[in-house]
Amino acid sequence: MSSDGSNQASWLNKPLCRRYIASTFEVASFKCGAAGAIRKRQVEWAFGWLPDGECEGLGAWLRTEPERTYGAALVDDLKIRGVERLLTVAGTAPGEVPEAFCGRTPRASIDRLLAQALEASDRHGLPSPNRITEEIAGSLDRAIRRHGAFDDEAAAVDFIASALQRAERRLDRERLALTRHLPLASSVRPMLLAL
């Protein structure tokens, strides 16, 4: 495995926070196999938001179960990596979001819920989770189309994980640039403890 591949493996297995105030779960489609034997597959991917507005990639998982359901492997992986609770969850379709961590939230209301949760943290200027998710999904879909068919599923998951990791780093840089000059409200501490 290349050093880039091992970097993706470590990103896909990194420990996660116990609680996220918001999360989005999406699906990316790709083709794999040699000419004449190309098949369509899907990867589930997710991002979570911490109380201070930081956005973190939760992972990417090869979809192995029937469409419109999130696999047990996804839920097990999140639990093993430390996730105990997702306060709000949105996804491409309400029936797809894993209920192991919390109830479902329609995509339209996740921005409002996140804004309320982050209100005390002086969220001014931080981008909407829906906008972030749409941008990542669009960028990921374009990258997959440009790449074409993958040799195998592992190569596709590595490619997608690499794209998601780059998106996470870009979001971190943007967030730091936006919040560098904003004083952290003293009322944030009680909110963090309440979660």
* Average pLDDT rounded to a whole number, residues 10-19: 90
Q: How far is CA 146 from CA 24, 30, 39, 123, 149, in A?
A: 25, 11, 17, 35, 9
> pTM for the full model?
0.77
pLDDT by residue (tens digit) across 160-175? 999 999 999 998 888 7
**Helix, strand, coil fractions of the chain, as percent rounded to 5:** 45, 20, 35
- Partnered with residue 49 across adjacent β-strands are 22, 55
Amino acid at position 181, single letter = H
Task: Give residue 25's Cα distance to chain centre.
Answer: 6
pLDDT at residue 118, as a whole number: 53
pLDDT by residue (tens digit) across 105-149? 555 555 566 555 555 444 555 667 788 888 999 999 999 999 999
- 38 vs 122, which has greater pLDDT? 38
- Partnered with residue 30 across adjacent β-strands are 41
3-state secondary structure of 18: coil
**Distance between CA 117 and CA 49 in Å, rounded?**
10
pLDDT at residue 189, as a whole number: 36
Alpha helices in 54-152 (DSSP H): 72-80, 107-118, 129-147
**Distance between CA 14 and CA 134 in Å, rounded?**
24
